[in-house]
Amino acid sequence: MTSNSSISEVPPEAGATRPYPFSTATGLGMDPLYAYLREREPVSRVRMPYGGEAWMVTRHADAKLVLSDPRFSMAAGAGKDVPRPTEQLLEPGGLVAMDPPEHTRLRRLAGRAFTHRRVEGMRPSVAALSNRLVDEMTARAPSADLLEAIALPVSIGVICELLGVDYEDRHIFQRFSDALLSTSMAPDEIRRSGEEFVAYLAQLVEERRQSPTDDLLGAMVHARDDEDSLSENELYMLGAGLLVGGYETTAAQIGNFTYLLLRDRRLYESLVADPSLIRNAVEELLRFTPLTTVDGYARIALEDVMVGDTLIRSGDAVFTSVAAANLDPEVFPGPDRLDFARERNPHLGFGHGIHYCMGAPLARLEIQVVLDVLTRRLPGLRLAVPATDVRWQPGLLLRVPERLPVTW
């Protein structure tokens, strides 16, 4: 199994400033230009649809530098017309848009939810939920949409349990999440959906002020009111980030990973035959699978910095292509091949540095449990349509099928 990234397909345009995105992302393939740039121009100039020109980094070592070096700031671009792939500005006040020390303070607070002990303690409940959903799916019909039947309800159920949110209210934050992840929705629509969500969150906060709870949202309200370590705006931004970010990306990757495993059923069968491979398989799938259609928000250089052989000037915007870095042959031998026996796998699927995904332990656990339940309960699971007939959702920042029809 390979990605469509042969550099021979790309005409050399050394030093050119290229319009970004390079092409419309379809499925889980990568534009061949990424491979060309990684080998020939690892720090290259791109012209974003909004805000002008920026640098694009495609090698693993350079990506790690930009993601972790404090000389590259997320906060410096928040709320400003900096280069970006979508019209939406990076909203100030959220964890993603912060630098230390503000970021350190909020991350320490939110990190209480994702300790190893707390996450591992959720494994039985995630397994029970996954098994129940498989029971319901197989009882209804001989085929189903795996996204609707398993991926979304598992991810939503887990984050609702963690934050103490009613599962029946999921449509409210699903609308908000869809708006945030849209590449085509009008800014006014995004704003309206955000206002609806903040009103919903304000109601939850007020309920916890009247009747304290021991869930994560209750802990954040306590931190706001009793410890004075959160502002009201930070409380809402953090709650929104955890509620939305905690389920949509995981659900998408459960769908994407299952698609890859069933597109080449030898991969799925290898996990059926040897469940001990599942943990390594999840890491390899995280490395191999591009999650987004475009490369996030820019970091702004706070001073002149050398990245590889290229001088990044103070004030320049820099993007890191994590998906391209995860296919760097200097770090991952045979990078275009899914290898569940890969011994060394320092992928950047959850980022790197201070903005490393806080929910990574929980996402790993959810994916591991779902794959364990599927391979154990449904060893004959297969796509119900040819892999080429699976359609992919347009107009989203995430890569995810519209539906994933399966049978067993």
Lowest model confidence (mean pLDDT) among 5-14, 126-135, 203-212, 375-384: 5-14
Range of weakest confidence among 16-30, 130-144, 295-309 = 16-30
Q: Could you tell me what percent of the chain has a pLDDT over 70?
A: 93
Residue 169 amino acid letter: D
CB count within 10 Å of CB 23 equals: 11
What Cα–Cα distance (Å) separates residue 149 from each residue in 66, 140, 255?
39, 10, 11
Res 4: pLDDT: 46
Q: What is the pLDDT of residue 8?
A: 45
**3-state DSSP helix/strand/coil percent for the chain, to nearest 5?**
50, 10, 40
Model confidence at 401: pLDDT above 60: yes
Looking at residues 112-141, what average pLDDT do you find?
90
| Residue (of 199, 114, 209) closest to 158 by Cα position | 114
Per residue in 52-110, pLDDT (tens digit) is: 999 999 999 999 999 999 999 999 999 999 999 988 899 888 888 999 998 988 888 77
Q: What is the per-residue pLDDT for 10?
A: 59
Starting at the edge strand found earlier in the chain, the sheet holding 53-57 runs: 18-19, 43-47, 53-57, 317-320, 299-301, 72-73
Mean pLDDT score of the chain:
89
The topology under which CATH files domain 7-407 is Cytochrome p450 (1.10.630)
Lowest pLDDT segment from 72-86, 177-191, 192-206: 177-191
- Comparison of pLDDT for 218 and 386, the residue scoring more: 386
Which pLDDT score is estimated for 1?
45
pLDDT at 351: 95
Q: How confident is the model over 340-361, as a mean pLDDT?
A: 94
Q: What is the pLDDT of residue 6?
A: 46
What 8-state DSSP symbol labels residue 367?
H
Confidence band of 9 (pLDDT split at 50, 70, 90): low
Domain extents for the chain? 7-407
pLDDT of residue 387: 97
Q: Please give the average per-residue pLDDT across 352-372, as a whole number.
A: 94
The answer to pTM > 0.85 is yes
DSSP state of 151: I
| Closest C-alpha to 319, from 336, 304, 333, 301 | 301
Between the alpha carbon of residue 313 and those of residues 99, 245, 306, 316, the distances in Å are: 19, 32, 9, 6
How far, CA to CA in Å, does 254 sit from each of 146, 241, 251, 257? 9, 20, 5, 5
pLDDT of residue 59: 98
